[in-house]
A and B are shown apart, each in its own frame.
Chain A
């Protein structure tokens, strides 16, 4: 279990505290949940609508993240210089931005009176209050997770195989698809899982930018936030679902990373 290098024994005390700090609130949530009524609660129309919307939008958002994120990570990993550093910073910013700020940013850009939204609106395209707005918010917050984890992997892996492939006559695209990406598969999978989880948890940007209507824009986190006001049992039941999905996704992500380190 331990790697070659040990650790000072005192490190265990803060670690125990850290684990307790992280685990106890989750345990508290699980203990408060009404397990007997959980299935019935989750079968309610409100719960199902939120679940369906959340899973649907997150899947679409994750696909968009992959389409945009993989090439971005590749270019960043293979680039040096000032513009690459600037692009890298730009890509990381949404990761640490408070979600409500992300929502305001989207609103002032894509909203009906926003920088771009104004022109879109003139063309008859309005994004606010639609499921599209939810997906845009999710992509905005989830994309950095894929780019950052994939770029790190691409940068640290050697380029010998790729050089060999190109020497043997493979085109850059073929090299990417048959050599680079398969080698980065663990990082890609773990980055995908993290992006999905981030999209699933997206709250602030959706609330600010997309609104909240059952089946259209009210995702799981928004439904939980609203249910807190009226039906805390159902809010807790949905929180348990979100916790379970998040746990599963993070477990998968760790699993993929471990698989990578054995390869």
Chain B
């Protein structure tokens, strides 16, 4: 009997583990909240803007999940490329709209141990961590380096911008290239330097209704909130306005 209880507890635990990705936010209304698949970088600002059932992941991972038939009302992508991928795969109802922008900045640990002076030659020989070219922030990093005539020699190319930030805040890396929103979120744990030209060529965030959305009215309302009153909260979190 004891063993049976243990097995049941283990199964329950395993089931809980499976839910990690989709954390249902507490619902105040009686109606079902919209199911929103959103880029990982939106994971603090979106819940502050509106109640919904969120699943946060890398944009391309979310497109894969939608292709696999995952049920969602809204898809919010951290770049144009992945929204285009979703549109090409016939996953989006109507035209997606741009709702925010984000640009790269250079961060160092708060005490800047390597004495970096900015996005310049002072990065040579330091432990610089960037995103891999395969992901949007890495592609933006390459573009920024080229525009500034720099050849970067990173010690690590991460798959997620949050992993870059983590290595800088842990003091493991001397510097890292992350989005302005990541830097804003890290507060006084990092020192921030501008990346020249990054603001003029930002990463664009797009949102659209998923085809076959179980709750289209809610999806519409959610998108209206994000593009309307939600803009103030996006700006407070470090996002730039859509352009």
Contact = CB atoms under 8 A, between A and B. Distances in A.
Interface in A98-121: 107, 111-113
Interface size class of B (residues with CB under 8 A): 20 to 34
A230 B157 CA distance: 14
Interface in A130-175: none
Interface stretch (B32-40, B87-95, B126-134): B126-134
A112 B171 contact: yes
Nearest to A127: B172
A241 interface: no
A225 interface: yes
Contacts of A213: 154-157
A211 B60 contact: no
B129 A229 contact: no
B172 A226 contact: no
Interface in B85-124: none
Contacts of B156: 129, 211-213, 217
A231 B159 CA distance: 13
A5 to B, nearest CB: 20
Contacts of A229: 58, 60-61, 132, 134-135, 159
Given A212-B158, A229-B58, A229-B60, A128 B134 contact: no
A20 B135 CA distance: 35
B155 A225 contact: no
10 contacts: A111-B171, A128-B173, A129-B127, A129-B173, A217-B156, A226-B132, A228-B64, A230-B135, A231-B134, A232-B64
Query: Which 10 pairs, one residue from A and one from B, show the smallest C-beta to C-beta distance?
Result: A211-B156, A230-B134, A129-B155, A113-B171, A229-B134, A226-B159, A128-B172, A229-B60, A229-B135, A111-B172
Given A214-B157, A232-B64, 18 more contacts: A107-B170, A111-B172, A113-B171, A208-B163, A211-B129, A211-B158, A211-B167, A212-B157, A213-B154, A213-B156, A226-B135, A228-B60, A228-B61, A229-B58, A229-B134, A229-B135, A229-B159, A230-B135
